[in-house]
Amino acid sequence: MTRQILDNNHIHPAVQATVNNNHADIVAEVQAAIANNQIVVVGMAQNPAPKRARKQLDELGLDYCYLEYGNYFKLWRRRNALKMWSGWPSFPMIFVKGVLIGGSSDMRALIEAGEFIQLLD
């Protein structure tokens, strides 16, 4: 099933540039990190879930790229652009070889099932 997104035909031409360029720089930064790293964790300060994910990766001895955008009190609009781009509702967003695998608990489940390391092969 394809994720729903508002079709450009339903966006007035006067606002299309605003819609298309809304925090495009942060999305491009994450896309570049995904293209250049096997594992990317996108998180935010003060949130314990990104810290747990990074700790799990550290315990496995795996290299990863960590990108942090604001905290509960700032940069939420910029983070929202990432949520709209990926369709993932929370942080962290964890990508393995360009594939969104979910958040911290999703990664933990893959590790416990023995599937996470297979994703890196």
Say if residues 103 and 93 touch (Cβ distance below 8 Å).
yes
Q: What is the pLDDT of residue 119?
A: 95
Average pLDDT score over residue span 115-119: 95
pTM for the model stands at: 0.93
Mind listing the pLDDT tens digit for each residue in 21-66? 999 999 999 999 999 999 999 999 999 999 999 999 999 999 999 9
3-class DSSP state of 39: strand
pLDDT for the residue numbered 1: 67
70, 44 in Cβ contact below 8 A?
yes
pLDDT at 18: 93
Q: What is the mean pLDDT of residues 6-16?
A: 93
What confidence score (pLDDT) does residue 14 get? 96
Cα dihedral 4, 8, 10, 11 sign = positive
- In whole angstroms, give the CA distance from residue 15 to residue 61: 46
The mean pLDDT value of the chain amounts to 95
| Mean pLDDT on 58-81 | 95
Q: Rounded to whole angstroms, how far apart are CA atoms 61 and 73? A: 32
From the candidate CATH numbers 3.40.920.10, 3.40.50.300, 3.30.420.40, 3.40.30.10, the one assigned to the domain spanning 17-120: 3.40.30.10
- Whether the per-residue pLDDT at 89 is higher than 90: the answer is yes
Q: If you ran DSSP here, which 8-state letter would residue 113 be given?
A: T
Domain boundaries, the chain: 17-120
